[in-house]
Structure 1
Amino acid sequence: MLRILEKIKYIKDNYLIETIILVIIAIILINTLFVYPIVGKCDNGDFERFMRYGGLKNIHNEYKKIYDGYFHNKFLISNPNPLLFVPVYINWVSSTILLKISVFIFLVIHGFSSNLFDIRYLAFVYCVIFLIGIFLIVSFKRFNSILKIICGAFFIVFFTSTCYITYFNSFFGEAGTIIFLFLNIGTYLYLITREKPEIRHFIYFFLASCGFLTAKSQNIPLLVFMLIIYAGLFVYYKQKKIRISIIIGTLIVISICGIGYFSLSDTMNRNNLYQSVFLGVLRDSPTPERDLQEIGIDKKFMVFYGHSFYDRKGEQDPLGKEMIDDFYPNISFGKILVFYINHPDRLWEKIVDSANNAYAFSNIKKGSFIKNQYDSNKVVNGIRVYLIEKFPKLHRNIYVFIGFSILYLLISIFYFIKYKDRTTRLLVLMLLFILASGASQLVLPVLGSGHGDFGKHLFLLNLSYDIMAGIAVLWIAHIIYKCSLKYFKNIIRLK
């Protein structure tokens, strides 16, 4: 009892603000994701490749019952369940590890007697990691009490919104992107503010960064920017053991990113290439036939223009023999990139399209609930969606994105040049990584899959710029606080 009281006193003295913030966030998460009527995401066809890693399958076999437009929370656990123990299979992403953990927790709690998995077990695992990441960020040692409160309030208002947390009750990769990005930032802040960090602190960060980079195949190209952070750590931490651990960690992350990339199935790769051409390069093109030939594809394949990759019932089958023999071997993302470099006006059109399609969030609707459980009076956080709908020109304006990005970049560079201490410079590297993660999404999704499921592929753009908005708010609050402090000190001196 005495130990418990001592721990409570320690938390009260050192982490009172953080605890209050986490309790508020936990209440919102529990109410939204765990208390009936619960809210989540319905399957759009992407769930199956993720579910297989937990040995899960849909309760129904009929197409209409699987894709009925409603959120499903129960899934069958296969028996036997060999994939539960297979670490890597096709279309591997880091969140599949969390799925395996959640399925195992479910089986243990139910004494291995139930085969009806509840998706809320996965949401629970996501929520735990989400809260750990938030705690590490809010408890950043350079935050005073005011900044901690502002940071926590921003998390509550923006990141407990249904447009983000409902992904936790789903098998979409966006959930992993959210939790691992916050954990990545949190473990990094925890690392760089320690006077004498230990090797385990570097391990925490490398695990979190690897989790983020492999949460979706779309995140893997960001390894290029993450390597700059790894290099920064190597430069500023000169102890031999730590440098060896940084090198080993970097090589492991590169290897795991490679595993994630090469695990992509042929169908997935072909789907992305198909959409990059027919829903990207050729979309709104004044000269589609000429563009097709410029990227090295015979104009006979123009018959697929306006034809969905998933529509395989007609004569034009995107996975037909002619396509596999003559189309896919002759196209690559490198050729598509060269095309846009040679046509900067077309690239600019795609960047503007990305901005125009950003923040494709919506309020919860009937499909966000289990069938026949829709409740219009369900209390959830919809503030973020309200702001997007209230100010659409602010959220979907390429010039706002560019202007904000330039200011953010210039201020970050200013701090990097002015302050030469290790913590500040390493902090700036992470701030620039967040900028690179967001700004790159104005280009990468359209290169990688054209306008196929465009709004969803811009998710990291939305998340990154929301994080940068929070950073901007904290920076402004910090400047106001410093100026106020200086002002009152001058008044006291005059008196």
Structure 2
Amino acid sequence: MIEDNLVKTTLRQRIMPAGLRVSPAFAAAFGVLLVTVIALFTAPYIGMADNGDFFRNIYSNGLYFNLPDYDSKYFGYFVKHFGIYQYYNENGATLDSSQSLFIKLSMGLNKLVFSSTVFDIRFQAAIYTVLYVAAIYLLIEAVTCKMSRKQGMIIAVIAILVFGDTGYTAYFNSFYSESVVMIMMIFVFASWLLLYRKRYNDYALLGLFVLSSIILTTSKQQNAPVGMIIAVLGISLVWIRRDRLFRSLTLVSMALLMLAGIATYLNISKEFVNINQYHAMTRGVLKESSNPETTLKSFGIDEQYAILKGSIYYEQYGTVDVNSPMLEKDFYSRYGFGSILKYYATNPDQLGSILNVAARSAFSIKPAAMGNYEESEGKAFRAQSHFFTAYSLLKQKLAPKTFGFILLWMALVIGLYMPSCVKAVKARNMRAFQRMVLILASMGVGLSGIFVSIIGAGDADISKHEFLFTLCFDLVTFMLAADVIGRRVSAGRHPAARKAGQYPEVQKGVSA
């Protein structure tokens, strides 16, 4: 018996050298990678159908729709092949977005190994997948730092269920900017949390934090407030170290991030201003108004425009020409973001009503309007995949659909973390204070997604517009669950002592 055990031990040591153990971060990253590869890169391929937005990103980047019947696939079917312009491309940029960097990179890879005339969107999905897996690794490393191996592995399993959900990863096989938003937001969250944990090099983490924040802010025009929110709260990072170089770099970085937010807002094209402004009134203010004529009078708009209540900009046979000079003079020029915000502030009942409309879609990861399969799979028009979607389906079904629940969730999370925040303030420990700052920043970024959506575009395409909220909700809730499992919600920054069975601590950060 003793000899048998000795042989087994020796064999195990040969297969797995002493000290080499799979960390929770590696397990979670590998699990998400495995699920994503199966979903996106093996038949039947899962992606997302075009809702009419793809043209904004592909034409200016040298791609075009090369299927003669492409229009018939809108909303219904995922398309994975697109044409690559061979000669002169007369299309200018419809909008400026950091997403173009990833489209250009995937096109270069496509031309290198596949074709110079046909673009396969799975090359883009491959790049996103690599970045996503790296972000997940850092996130799990941050939340499981100094936990026992058992606790870490439980969290890793939860991470696979949440972040491996194809409601999230199906975006990789599309030209929606949500892919960039998701990856960069996780990098921002993970790098900030790692700075709080004092894990790895502070300068490297600051660089990752700033770069990810800028790409996130400039990925879509709706995210302009994101850079401003992160820049304001990120100022607190200045005091986590005493050396002048780090403080100077942090100040400059926050200034750049603030400028990125302002530039993104100022760079919104007139076309999209009109589209969103139209929906903000017809699908927002008027839609929730019991007396649209009186509402229009408060904006100085002719009461006859009440007929536009509930209409959308893209209607083929609309009541009015949405691009007419008459509408520009008598309708669009009479209101804007500020006046609508003021209207909601002076009409709290209507604000509460539109916020509840937003809350009903705030927990939907994947919009129900777009299909996930190629037409060749023989699925019904707009058919959606249910492969590895347990979390997104459960979340959408169980989450209360009221804005009151969102406020209650915020109060609960802040309340649970408040004791540790108070300890950090009393100890004047700005690094330990960063966990609360991160929570507030994430909530602020998530709420900006809701308020910008309803004030800027009403309930038009709201489930996709609120993607940033549902992602921030998941990140904060996931961190809370991890801290509950690790029993450190109200504790100090790190456990006082390491217990037997914990995986080794690696401190690579430069001391403060």
Q: TM-score, normalised by structure 2?
A: 0.84
Task: Tell whether the 8 Å contact from 1:366 to 1:374 is kept in structure 2 after alignment.
Answer: no
- Count of aligned pairs: 473
- Aligned with residue 237 of structure 1, among 237, 241, 256: 241
Residue 53 of structure 1, CA deviation? 4.2
Task: Tell whether the 8 Å contact from 1:162 to 1:364 is kept in structure 2 after alignment.
Answer: no
Task: Tell whether the 8 Å contact from 1:229 to 1:426 is kept in structure 2 after alignment.
Answer: no
- 2:113 corresponding residue in structure 1: 109
Residue 202 of structure 1, CA deviation? 1.7
- Asked if 1:271 corresponds to 2:275, the answer is yes
- 2:28 corresponding residue in structure 1: 21
Alignment of 1:286-301 (within 5 A): 286-301=290-305
Q: Which structure 1 residue ranges, 5 or more long, are not aligned?
A: 1-7, 490-495
Code of the residue aligned with 1:408 in structure 2: it is V
Code of the residue aligned with 1:34 in structure 2: it is F
**What is the rounded CA distance, in whole Å, between the counterparts of 1:439 and 1:259 in structure 2?**
21
3-state secondary structure, aligned to 1:238: coil
More relative contact order, 1 or 2 (CA 8 Å, 6+ apart): 2
Return 360-369 or 251-260, whichever deviates more.
360-369
Residue 362 of structure 1, CA deviation? 6.1
Q: Deviations over 1:108-156 (max 9, x none)?
A: 223xx53110111111111111111111111123444344323322221
Alignment of 1:156-175 (within 5 A): 156-175=160-179
Return 460-469 or 67-76, whichever deviates more.
460-469
Alpha-carbon spacing, 1:433–1:76, altered in 2? closer, same or farther (3 Å): same
Residue 165 of structure 1, CA deviation? 0.8
- Asked if 1:471 corresponds to 2:499, the answer is no
Code of the residue aligned with 1:382 in structure 2: it is T
**What is the rounded CA distance, in whole Å, between the counterparts of 2:39 and 2:364 in structure 1?**
20
Q: TM-score, normalised by structure 1?
A: 0.87
Code of the residue aligned with 2:66 in structure 1: it is I
Code of the residue aligned with 1:134 in structure 2: it is I
- Aligned with residue 331 of structure 2, among 327, 334, 358: 327
Residue 413 of structure 1, CA deviation? 3.1
- Asked if 1:436 corresponds to 2:424, the answer is no
- 1:185 corresponding residue in structure 2: 189
Alpha-carbon spacing, 1:315–1:480, altered in 2? closer, same or farther (3 Å): closer
CA RMSD of aligned residues (A): 3.2
Return 61-70 or 290-299, whichever deviates more.
61-70
Code of the residue aligned with 1:28 in structure 2: it is V
- Asked if 1:228 corresponds to 2:232, the answer is yes
Task: Tell whether the 8 Å contact from 1:363 to 1:382 is kept in structure 2 after alignment.
Answer: no
Residue 313 of structure 1, CA deviation? 4.0
**What is the rounded CA distance, in whole Å, between the counterparts of 1:481 and 1:454 in structure 2?**
33
Return 303-312 or 70-79, whichever deviates more.
303-312
- Asked if 1:446 corresponds to 2:448, the answer is no
Identity of aligned residues (%): 23
Residue 181 of structure 1, CA deviation? 0.8
Alpha-carbon spacing, 1:387–1:125, altered in 2? closer, same or farther (3 Å): same
**What is the rounded CA distance, in whole Å, between the counterparts of 1:472 and 1:481 in structure 2?**
7
3-state secondary structure, aligned to 1:369: coil
Alpha-carbon spacing, 1:475–1:205, altered in 2? closer, same or farther (3 Å): same
**What is the rounded CA distance, in whole Å, between the counterparts of 1:481 and 1:458 in structure 2?**
28
Task: Tell whether the 8 Å contact from 1:352 to 1:398 is kept in structure 2 after alignment.
Answer: yes
**What is the rounded CA distance, in whole Å, between the counterparts of 2:151 and 2:88 in structure 1?**
48
Alpha-carbon spacing, 1:275–1:82, altered in 2? closer, same or farther (3 Å): same
**What is the rounded CA distance, in whole Å, between the counterparts of 1:384 and 1:108 in structure 2?**
37
Alpha-carbon spacing, 1:109–1:259, altered in 2? closer, same or farther (3 Å): farther
Residue 240 of structure 1, CA deviation? 1.9
- 1:403 corresponding residue in structure 2: 408
Residue 34 of structure 1, CA deviation? 0.7
Q: Which structure 2 residue ranges, 5 or more long, are not aligned?
A: 1-15, 500-512
Alpha-carbon spacing, 1:354–1:415, altered in 2? closer, same or farther (3 Å): same
Return 47-56 or 145-154, whichever deviates more.
145-154
Q: Deviations over 1:213-250 (max 9, x none)?
A: 22322222123321233210123333222222122222
**What is the rounded CA distance, in whole Å, between the counterparts of 1:91 and 1:133 in structure 2?**
27
- 2:132 corresponding residue in structure 1: 130
**What is the rounded CA distance, in whole Å, between the counterparts of 1:397 and 1:72 in structure 2?**
35
Code of the residue aligned with 1:70 in structure 2: it is Y
- Asked if 1:213 corresponds to 2:217, the answer is yes
Alpha-carbon spacing, 1:482–1:220, altered in 2? closer, same or farther (3 Å): closer
Alpha-carbon spacing, 1:465–1:62, altered in 2? closer, same or farther (3 Å): same
Alignment of 1:263-412 (within 5 A): 263-311=267-315, 313-314=317-318, 316-361=320-365, 367-374=371-378, 380-388=387-395, 390-391=397-398, 394-412=399-417
- Aligned with residue 421 of structure 2, among 409, 416, 439: 416
**What is the rounded CA distance, in whole Å, between the counterparts of 2:365 and 2:260 in structure 1?**
31
Residue 343 of structure 1, CA deviation? 0.9
**What is the rounded CA distance, in whole Å, between the counterparts of 1:174 and 1:357 in structure 2?**
16
Code of the residue aligned with 1:400 in structure 2: it is F
Alpha-carbon spacing, 1:9–1:244, altered in 2? closer, same or farther (3 Å): farther
Task: Tell whether the 8 Å contact from 2:359 to 2:401 is kept in structure 1 after alignment.
Answer: yes
Task: Tell whether the 8 Å contact from 1:177 to 1:215 is kept in structure 2 after alignment.
Answer: yes
**What is the rounded CA distance, in whole Å, between the counterparts of 2:199 and 2:171 in structure 1?**
37
**What is the rounded CA distance, in whole Å, between the counterparts of 2:153 and 2:248 in structure 1?**
38
3-state secondary structure, aligned to 1:368: coil
Residue 370 of structure 1, CA deviation? 0.9
**What is the rounded CA distance, in whole Å, between the counterparts of 2:285 and 2:489 in structure 1?**
49
Task: Tell whether the 8 Å contact from 2:213 to 2:227 is kept in structure 1 after alignment.
Answer: no
Residue 273 of structure 1, CA deviation? 0.7
**What is the rounded CA distance, in whole Å, between the counterparts of 2:369 and 2:38 in structure 1?**
16
**What is the rounded CA distance, in whole Å, between the counterparts of 1:327 and 1:482 in structure 2?**
53
Residue 51 of structure 1, CA deviation? 1.4
Task: Tell whether the 8 Å contact from 2:162 to 2:391 is kept in structure 1 after alignment.
Answer: yes
**What is the rounded CA distance, in whole Å, between the counterparts of 1:137 and 1:10 in structure 2?**
26
**What is the rounded CA distance, in whole Å, between the counterparts of 2:490 and 2:96 in structure 1?**
47
- 2:66 corresponding residue in structure 1: 59
Return 431-440 or 278-287, whichever deviates more.
431-440
Residue 278 of structure 1, CA deviation? 1.0
3-state secondary structure, aligned to 1:319: coil
- 1:49 corresponding residue in structure 2: 56
